[in-house]
Amino acid sequence: MVITATGLDAAGKEIGPAEFPGKTYKYIGGDPLEEHNWKIRAGLVKKDGLALPGFTNGVPVMKMATFAGPYWAPNRTAKEGALAAARSVRDQDELMTLRNFCAWRGGDVLSSTFVRACVLIAALSDNPEERRDALALAERAAWLMYGGHRGRVPTVYHGNVPLMLWCGLAYLDVYAVGKDPRFRDAAVDLAKAIAAAQDPTDGGWPAAEGKTTGWGGGTFGPSEARTNAGEPMLWFLGRVRKELGVDDFVQNEARANKWVQTCCLPEMFWQNVGHHSLETILVQDRVAPHALSYCTWQLDYADAKDKDLKLVMEIARWCEERHVNWDRKLGPYALLETRPSCWGWGRAAGLGIRNAGSLVYVWTRLWQETKDPLWKAKADALVQSILVAQDPADGGLAKSFNRSSADTSSFSYNDYDVVDAAYRLVDYSRLTAGKP
């Protein structure tokens, strides 16, 4: 399709066709091609960023398949699927060191992935021995993780502040199930360290402990003065306030929300991983995880004066447009892909399974808030697809909706996305148990 527009004067007379200006993104803070780790990729990046020329005859638009559910009748319930997925993560060979309580050299993000998976098992299993053992694993691994960053921010990939979300959620999750006060204190301690790292003037976050990681700029959009934005931190700090009754970080939430209002919403730009990662070659204002983290904060933790339901709906539709394929027909090169599917790619765009889980949660909460059955129908359809694509033997969730062992079983750094999607399945089960 091509969208065109003709201008009209006050009397309704045509005054000529509209021209659509292009948009040019420039690098701020320096040229990444001058950095050592970019020289080998010089042929992959345009030096002046991405330049889109203006269109004089209209803007071409791709027509995507529209929602047409329901799609599947899965053999598992959402809660059963979440438990199977958590077990598949707990039992990964790559996490043997955590099961044996040795030091985990993969960093705090992988530890938090293991912790959150074990917490789900402790909460969902109908086997009392498995629940006991899973909680013991979660608590010991969480304490090991906390010992590595006590009093400061965790060790995460290149100081990427948003990845610290998973550590914070792990402490809150294990405390919610086991009620061990150590993990309440760990969550508050982490919140203090994250709050201290926030820039008090603009509400954004630099890299870990106030330092940049080689180059202080970003790649696209207005928020690239910071390596990290703070939408996930709103989610974590909101949970600390609501679940633990700690109001010490209200001003940090306010500053982070101002950052979103100033730097993210005007152009729907959601900063994720900084310049060091190959994924910044992608135009990052086309990715959803941080936008959906902000929706989670809006729906569950924002005060009445900050809550904007229309904005959440707009963001949800924006993310759906860019990430969800509602088509029923498989592409010729994706014979194993379950439809509907959800697109994602690595750290910058979030794995497809994380985007799907986050959309399921936001849609289900919007159904509760608005009573509009379309939101729940979409959530139902995507949950159905997640469960159909799940490995029937080991329970691994299909990270890209491909029904193959390579997509469901192999452990990777990004399995925190898989575990979060499992949590979202549990949330869906809880929220849809009764009428809104």
Mind listing the pLDDT tens digit for each residue in 55-99?
666 766 667 788 988 888 888 999 999 999 999 999 887 777 767
Q: Same domain, yes or no, for 158 and 14?
A: no
Q: Domain check: are 230 and 264 in the same one?
A: yes
* Domain stop point among 39, 63, 87: 63
What are the pLDDT digits (tens) for 228-259? 567 889 999 999 999 999 999 999 999 999 98
Tell me, yes or no, whether 10 and 139 share the same domain. Answer: no
Partners of 59 in beta bridges: 3
CA atoms of 116 and 258, how far apart (whole Å): 30
Using the structure block, give the residue that is written with the tokens 């010992």: 147
HEC profile of the chain: CEECCEEECCCCCEEEECCECCCECCCCCCCHHHCHHHHHHHHHCCCCCCECCCECCCEECCCCCCCCCCCCCCCCCHHHHHHHHHHHHHCCHHHHHHHCCCCCCCCHHHHHHHHHHHHHHHHHCCCHHHHHHHHHHHHHHHHHHHHCCCCCCCCCHHHCHHHHHHHHHHHHHHHHHHCCHHHHHHHHHHHHHHHHHCCCCCCCECCHHHCCCCCCCCCCCCCCCCCECCHHHHHHHHHHHHHHCCCCCHHHHHHHHHHHHHHHCCCCCCCCCCCCCHHHHCCHHHCCHHHHHHHHHHHHCCCCCCCCHHHHHHHHHHHHHHHEECCCCCCCCCCCECCCEECCCHHHHCCHHHHHHHHHHHHHHHHHHHCCHHHHHHHHHHHHHHHHHCCCCCCCCCCCCECCHHHHCCCCCCHHHHHHHHHHHHHHHHHCCCCC
Domain that holds residue 46: 1-63
Question: Are 80 and 37 found together in one domain?
Answer: no
Total structural domains within the chain:
2
Q: Is the pLDDT of residue 289 over 60?
A: yes
Residues of the chain above pLDDT 90, percent: 45
Residue 329, in any domain of the structure: yes
| 45 plus 166 within the same structural domain | no
Q: What is the reported pLDDT for 56?
A: 65
pLDDT 10s digits, 361-401: 999 999 999 999 999 999 999 999 999 999 888 899 998 88
Q: Do residues 49 and 115 both lie within one domain?
A: no
Say if residue 414 is in the same domain as residue 376.
yes
Q: What is the CA radius of gyration of the chain?
A: 22
Beta-carbon neighbour count of residue 3 at 10 Å?
A: 11
Residue 436 within any structural domain of the chain: no
- Are 23 and 102 contained in the same domain? no
- The tens digit of pLDDT for each residue in 168-207 reads 999 999 999 999 999 999 999 999 999 998 888 888 876 5
